[in-house]
């Protein structure tokens, strides 16, 4: 499976797996904080890329979401689980964060479970409460639509 990054109603969703193509780390191993993927194996919608470009750099060497150039490839990474969602203004990239290294692809559509989850969150919590959370974790367990993590 290729990692997919899409957006809906101003929220970015990431759908991946622990055996996704292009993984550069082993997310299930002890000490791993998230996913590190060769960006050439990541399909990103143009809407998601526009939102990712709004993420601010931090002074830290790790970000909630990150894009940087390594010696071998362009790296796309995020903290957390295979399914994540976030509002760009509430997360940060590392000091090396450079979303201009990413390219969007046509035909990348939001996962139906993600759309349902965002609609439910925005309906129940009235946008303001969603905005108070830096990251809403693991929509894949809220709406089962794919395989196990």
Determine, yes or no, domain membership for 147: no
Q: Which residues contact residue 57 at a Cβ distance below 8 angstroms, ignoring those fewer than 6 apart?
A: 63, 92, 93, 94, 95, 97
Determine, yes or no, domain membership for 149: no
- The whole-number pLDDT of residue 106 equals 96
Determine, yes or no, domain membership for 59: yes
Range of the domain at 31: 3-142
Q: Which residues contact residue 44 at a Cβ distance below 8 angstroms, ignoring those fewer than 6 apart?
A: 5, 6, 52, 102, 103, 104, 105, 108
Is the Cβ–Cβ distance between 75 and 67 less than 8 Å?
A: yes
- The whole-number pLDDT of residue 125 equals 59
Number of domains in the chain: 1
- Is 7 strand, coil or helix? strand
**Model confidence pLDDT, tens digit, residues 77-119:** 999 999 999 989 889 999 999 999 999 999 999 998 889 888 8
- The whole-number pLDDT of residue 140 equals 45
Determine, yes or no, domain membership for 113: yes
Element (H, E) at 48: helix 46-52
What phi and psi values does residue 23 have, to the nearest 5 degrees?
Answer: -60, 135
- The whole-number pLDDT of residue 146 equals 34
Determine, yes or no, domain membership for 128: yes
What phi and psi values does residue 137 have, to the nearest 5 degrees?
Answer: -85, 140
The model's pTM is: 0.83
Determine, yes or no, domain membership for 88: yes
Question: Which residues of the chain carry a pLDDT beneath 50?
Answer: 127, 130-149
Determine, yes or no, domain membership for 8: yes
- The whole-number pLDDT of residue 134 equals 42
- The whole-number pLDDT of residue 13 equals 94
β-partners of residue 75 are 38, 68
């Amino acid at each position: 499976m290729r990692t997919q990054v899409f957006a809906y109603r101003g929220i970015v969703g990431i759908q991946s797996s622990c055996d996704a193509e292009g993984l550069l780390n082993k997310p299930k191993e002890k000490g791993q904080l998230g996913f590190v993927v060769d960006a050439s194996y990541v399909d990103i919608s143009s809407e998601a890329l526009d939102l990712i470009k709004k993420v601010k750099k931090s002074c830290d060497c790790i970000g909630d979401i990150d894009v940087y150039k390594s010696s071998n490839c362009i790296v796309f990474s995020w903290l957390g689980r295979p399914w994540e969602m976030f509002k760009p203004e509430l997360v940060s990239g590392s000091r090396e964060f450079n979303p201009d290294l990413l390219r969007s692809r046509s035909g990348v559509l939001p996962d139906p479970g993600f759309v349902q989850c965002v609609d439910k969150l925005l309906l129940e919590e009235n946008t303001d409460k969603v905005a108070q959370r830096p990251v809403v974790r693991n929509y894949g367990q809220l709406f089962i639509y794919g395989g196990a993590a």
